[in-house]
């Protein structure tokens, strides 16, 4: 059996959706990780961690050198970067730094569908980063989750304005996965022996249609919520109107098209294999969102008040 090397665990993206859940998971296992955060963001880490300021920067040698210094003495690193037009470059900065610092195990958060040749931006970025990781860091593990269940929190705006979840995905079914389960899998890997390039596709317990998701939110909150299948044009206009940058709108529409094509229906047993527990159903998160849904103004209330 491979021994667990000595040294600390470091986490990138520790202030985000998944990183927050991971810091909590590690704390539950008695670990206090280094949290690599952007300058001034140390206070945003919600859990016991030691923040170290490290902007992932522009991928230049200076950013790599600074980050490698911060990673000295680290044995295991969780690699997560934000949805970003050059996410592959941000990932490369961390990969180069981890290689320079001699980190024994890098656990990379990727995405279901990752492929360096994919026409879908996010899948291509993660595919390129997976390839760079395999080249530079032999001790690594890749987690490819499906769409996060927690994305449902992004629906609160249209639930308030129209009483509906609006997406251009038709009758797509998606095996959405809860970030708390991904965090649990990542924590198990980070606290164990280094991987050797294993790839795990992480999904929820079943593929769910968006009408079903709306029903679950209705049942949890007591408030009537519908699913409206909108055209790509309508979705584009809504996102641009809400201030989403054009590159991000295009990238999201590409992902929605993969859902509509049935590419996100896969259900795997990888989470149970890694955590020893079945993944959480969508209804679990729906119940934790219920209070926020009930607190929303009723559709049309803003207009009526004018």
Ligand X SMILES: NC(=O)c1ccc[n+]([C@@H]2O[C@H](COP(=O)([O-])OP(=O)(O)OC[C@H]3O[C@@H](n4cnc5c(N)ncnc54)[C@H](OP(=O)(O)O)[C@@H]3O)[C@@H](O)[C@H]2O)c1
> CB-wise, 45 or 217, nearer to ligand X?
45
The answer to whether the CB of 267 falls within 8 A of the CB of 175 is: yes
> How do beta strands 74-79 and 50-53 pair?
unpaired
> CB-wise, 164 or 248, nearer to ligand X?
248
State the minimum distance, in angstroms, from the CB of residue 130 to ligand X.
12
State the minimum distance, in angstroms, from the CB of residue 87 to ligand X.
6
State the minimum distance, in angstroms, from the CB of residue 161 to ligand X.
22
State the minimum distance, in angstroms, from the CB of residue 100 to ligand X.
17
Q: What is the DSSP string of 147-189?
A: SBGGGGGGGHHHHHHHSEEEES-TT-EE--B-HHHHHHHHHHH
Question: Which residue is nearest to ligand X, using beta carbons?
Answer: 16
The answer to whether the CB of 272 falls within 8 A of the CB of 180 is: no
What is the Cα–Cα distance from 283 to 187, expressed in whole angstroms? Answer: 24
> What are the counts of helices (DSSP H) followed by strands (DSSP E) for the chain?
12, 11
Residues that bind ligand X (CB under 6 A): 13-19, 38, 41, 44, 55-56, 80-83, 109, 111, 122, 145, 147-148, 151
State the minimum distance, in angstroms, from the CB of residue 297 to ligand X.
26
Beta carbons within 10 angstroms of residue 93's beta carbon? 24
């Amino acid at each position: 059996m491979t021994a667990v090397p000595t040294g600390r665990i470091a986490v990138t993206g520790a202030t985000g959706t998944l990183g927050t859940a991971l810091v909590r998971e590690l704390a539950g296992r008695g670990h206090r990780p280094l949290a690599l955060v952007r300058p001034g963001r140390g206070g945003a880490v919600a859990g016991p961690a030691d923040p170290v300021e490290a902007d992932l920067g522009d991928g230049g040698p200076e950013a790599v050198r600074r980050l490698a210094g911060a990673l000295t003495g680290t044995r295991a690193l969780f690699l997560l970067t934000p949805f970003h037009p050059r996410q592959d470059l941000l990932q490369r900065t961390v990969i180069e730094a981890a290689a320079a610092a001699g980190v024994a195990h890098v656990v990379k958060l990727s995405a279901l569908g990752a492929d360096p040749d994919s026409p879908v931006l996010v899948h291509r970025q993660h595919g390129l980063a997976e390839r760079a990781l395999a080249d530079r860091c032999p001790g690594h593990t890749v987690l490819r989750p499906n769409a996060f269940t927690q994305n449902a929190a992004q629906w609160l705006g249209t639930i308030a304005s129209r009483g509906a979840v609006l997406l251009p995905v038709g009758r797509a079914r998606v095996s959405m996965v809860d970030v708390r389960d991904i965090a649990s899998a990542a924590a198990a890997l980070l606290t164990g022996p280094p991987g050797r390039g294993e790839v795990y596709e992480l999904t929820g317990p079943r593929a769910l249609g968006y009408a079903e998701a709306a029903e679950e939110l209705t049942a949890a909150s007591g408030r009537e919520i519908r699913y409206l299948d909108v055209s790509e044009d309508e979705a584009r206009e809504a996102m641009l109107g809400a201030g989403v940058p054009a590159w991000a709108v295009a990238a999201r529409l590409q992902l929605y098209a993969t859902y509509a094509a049935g590419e996100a229906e896969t259900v795997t047993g990888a989470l149970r294999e890694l955590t020893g527990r079945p993944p959480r159903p969508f209804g679990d998160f729906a119940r934790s969102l219920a209070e926020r849904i009930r607190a929303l103004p009723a559709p049309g209330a803003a207009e009526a008040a004018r």
